Amino acid sequence: MADAAPALEVPPFSVVATGYQFVEGPRVAADGTLWFSDLLAGGYHRIAPDGTASAFATGRQWIGGAVLVEDGTLVVSGRGGLARLDPATGRLTPLPLATGDPFELCANDLEAAPDGGIIGGTIDFASIMETHQPPRPGTLFHRAPDGRLTILRQDVFASNGLGFSPCGRWLYHSETSRGVWRYPLGADGLPDCRPGQAHLLAAMEDSDGLVVDAEGAIWVAGWASASLRRLLPDGREDRCLSLPAFPHLVSLAFGGPDLNALYVSTGGNEAAPGLGGVVKIRVEVPGLRDRRAQVPA
């Protein structure tokens, strides 16, 4: 007999940021600084621990993800690929690649890899947002610290959230329209995405951002269903949360002194504009601290 679906929960939450259009790419630094993008309006935004809000790279389109860098800068995705953002100067610098270029589409969610590089994916936002044509397949890629590029998959419908297991054996990957994949990591720390190695852990048509907690469970945002699902490492659904005040739940990050705060980015739509922002939910199992990428100057 199949396991019964968990009861739907509506948890208490606090609003951290509001008034944006469609928020993506949240990151929370160790000092409590919150970063996030507005996918539709542009730019990457910061809310300092004292509540001061700042906006950077306001002309950059479609930032879907970011990683923190060891030197205090960030790498953001968006139209045209990857770029380095220096918060001290506000300067945005395209990040060069030593080999190859998969970014004729648009870079989306990113995650720092065990080797200090960046794992990320591409998505055809130009077709979705501008020409309204069926999107072309995207890629899953790895950029090494020296700029070398490896294409890991070439048939990704829409690449979204990424997260590594705490045991160091797996990469989880949200492919919107299909669900959450699990790839084994090789001796080089890179995922093996070949048929027979890649495993669709959980089918979920609207899977978007994801994070992994200290027990190895995967929290996944369902952007259309406005749901948050906690999947156990074997793919079984453990919890399902809903925030009825928001039409879309988009992307996730852990933060707080004990990493027990789950930050959820939200999106508005034509029927409910201005509901993009970030809310915070207290969870029992802490998350994992974000790795920092290595990006030589």
Per-residue model confidence (pLDDT) at position 1: 46
Place of tokens 């993800």: 65
Separation of alpha carbons 265 and 275, rounded Å: 10
End-to-end alpha carbon distance in the chain = 56
Distance between CA 256 and CA 30 in Å, rounded?
8
**Whether residue 297 has pLDDT greater than 90:** no
For 125, the 3-state DSSP assignment is: helix
Q: Residue 2 — very low, low, confident or very high, per pLDDT cuts 50/70/90? A: low
Assigned token pair, 90: 């506000």
- Residue listed under structure tokens 């890991």: 152
**Per-domain boundaries in the chain:** 8-282
Q: For 252-281, what is each residue's pLDDT tens digit? A: 999 999 999 999 999 999 999 999 999 999
Contacts for 14 with CB less than 8 Å, ≥ 6 apart:
279, 280
Residue 74 corresponds to which tokens in the numbers above?
């960030």
pLDDT digits (tens, 9 = 90+) for 146-161: 999 999 999 999 999 9
pLDDT at residue 216 above 70?
Answer: yes
**Contact by Cβ (8 Å): 39, 22:** yes
| Rounded CA separation 64/81 (Å) | 11
Per-residue confidence band for 4, with pLDDT thresholds at 50, 70 and 90 = confident
CA distance 42 to 58: 5
Q: What does DSSP say about strands 23-28 and 34-38: parallel, antiparallel, or unpaired?
A: antiparallel
Inter-residue contact 87 to 74 (CB < 8 Å): yes
Q: Which CATH architecture has domain 8-282?
A: 6 Propeller (2.120)
What integer pLDDT is reported at residue 101 of this predicted model? 78
